[in-house]
Amino acid sequence: MRLANIFHLGIKELRGLMRDPILLGLIVYSFTIAVYTEAKAVPETLNNAPIAIVDEDNSPLSRRIADSFLQPYFKPPAMITAGEMDARMDAGTDTFALDIPPNFQSDLIAGKSPVVQLNVDATRMTQAFSGSGYVQNIVSTEVAGFAAADIDGRTPTVDLALRARFNPELNQMWFASVMNVINNVTMLAIILTGTALIREREHGTVEHLLVMPLTPFEIMAAKVWSMGLVVFVATLLSLIFVVQGLLKVPVEGSIALFMAGAALHLLAATAMGIALATLAGSMPQFGLLLMLVLLPLQILSGATTPRESMPEVIQTIMLAAPNTHFILLAQAILYRGAGFSVVWPQFAWLFVIATVLFAFSLRGFRRSLR
């Protein structure tokens, strides 16, 4: 009987949403026009970009190049082996991986043109565009300085083989379109669920529900599954028809695995919407709370700027936000083609956060009904 109550209450929420043209228009706009228009607007900044160096030469020149990557543009370089480079790039640990080949300095002195390989994680568009140019300038400057000091009048050349991983065209739309869809999942899930609860309160229908053989859990669960389902379907359609179809953005990984992560994230986001609605006494107050919550979630979760560019205390605090882990798994799956073996920690975090948020919201909802 309880499952039947939850189902029928959810259907009631869907019917109420269908009669609200403003919310319907917001959903359609957010997952179509907004995704398309914002796909071309990405800031190009470089701050504390993580870089790894494979020094296969171990010469004074290679160490000189490694020592030239300084803050605030780059983090201190991680000295790794060639076997570690691909795994670290696949996991999203490094934005840049510079491979200095063996006999680099001796070939340079001999007048040859050795090639230094630079691998770039191009899913981090805010760093990839400007960062690759920074790396090339640094390598060229250090080689020229070494040549002027140690080679008699000869200025050899070094070719930098740039390989943009996961986005070979360095196309900003590939990043912005998917990130906009992900941001809208969080925003719409919170707005729709919170609005549904406040609408019940303002119309006085919450009291009608309470005189029926219904529990607060059933009322809340109905709003969570119905509004979550709307955002879930809108996300899937936007990803297939707008991102892949209209914008021609390739998706490397499993859409089914991504949508499984989206379902977990929607459980957490809709529970957050219930919690905010119980705190707000009216729709204007709910709107003010949204500004206080949504802006930090969107900006500090890694969707706008890489988390490595933020202070460590902010990075630690934002681990408690569900969309931080959702963005990590979404980028890994959709851009880098990662499987469950790579993103299972994010799934585990989302499950824990969603469970805690749902329990917290249910407790607050019960208190608001007293």
What is the rounded distance in angstroms from the CA atom of residue 277 to the CA atom of residue 289? Answer: 9
Domain count across the chain? 2
Residue 36 falls inside a structural domain: no
Residue 232 has pLDDT above 90, yes or no: yes
The answer on 183 and 161 residing in a single domain is: no
Residue 194 lies in a domain: yes
Please check whether residue 351 is in contact with residue 263, taking contact to mean a CB–CB distance below 8 angstroms.
no
Whether residue 149 sits in one domain with residue 7: no
Half-sphere exposure for 179 (CA within 13 Å, toward CB): 25
Domain boundary among 106, 136, 165: 165
Domain of residue 136, CATH code: 3.40.1710.10
Domain contains 199:
yes
Is it the case that residue 149 has pLDDT exceeding 70?
no
Please indicate, yes or no, if residue 37 is contained in any of the structural domains.
no
From residue 266, alpha-carbon distances to 134, 197, 269, 313, 346 in Å are 39, 16, 5, 26, 14
The answer to whether residue 40 sits within a structural domain is no
- If asked whether residues 231 and 349 sit together in one domain, one would say yes
Question: Ramachandran region of residue 111, left (φ > 0), alpha (ψ -120 to 50) or beta?
Answer: left
- 218 shares its domain with 360: yes
Residues 292 and 313 reside in one and the same domain:
yes
Same domain, 133 and 198: no
Is 115 contained in some domain?
yes
Lowest-confidence range among 116-130, 253-267, 326-340? 116-130
**Positive or negative, the Cα torsion across 270, 272, 274, 280?**
negative
pTM: 0.73
Q: Are residues 356 and 212 in the same domain?
A: yes
Same domain, 254 and 149: no
User: 246 and 348 share a domain?
Assistant: yes
Range of the structural domain that residue 88 is part of: 51-165
Last residue of a domain, one of 123, 149, 165: 165
Contacts by 241-249 with C-beta closer than 8 Å and gap 24+? 242/31, 242/32, 242/35, 242/36, 242/177, 242/181, 243/35, 243/177, 243/178, 243/181, 246/36, 247/35, 247/36, 247/39, 247/173, 247/177, 249/173, 249/174, 249/177, 249/178
Distance CA 293, CA 187 (A): 10
Q: In this predicted model, what pLDDT tens digit does every residue of 154-196 receive, in sequence order?
A: 555 666 677 777 777 667 778 888 888 998 999 999 999 999 8
Is residue 153 located within the same domain as residue 252? no
Which pLDDT band, with edges at 50, 70 and 90, does 224 fall under? very high
63 in the same domain as 24: no
Report, as an integer, the average pLDDT of 29-43: 79
Question: Residue 14 pLDDT > 80, yes or no?
Answer: yes
Distances (CA, A) of 329 to 108, 217, 322: 42, 30, 11
3-state percent helix, strand, coil for the chain, nearest multiple of 5: 65, 10, 25
**Residue 270 within any structural domain of the chain:** yes
Res. 109 pLDDT band, cuts 50 70 90: confident
**DSSP 8-class letter at 77:** P
Does 194 lie in the same domain as 137? no
| Whether the predicted pLDDT of 261 surpasses 80 | yes
Would residue 41 count as lying in a domain?
no
- Residue where a domain terminates, one of 147, 165, 183: 165
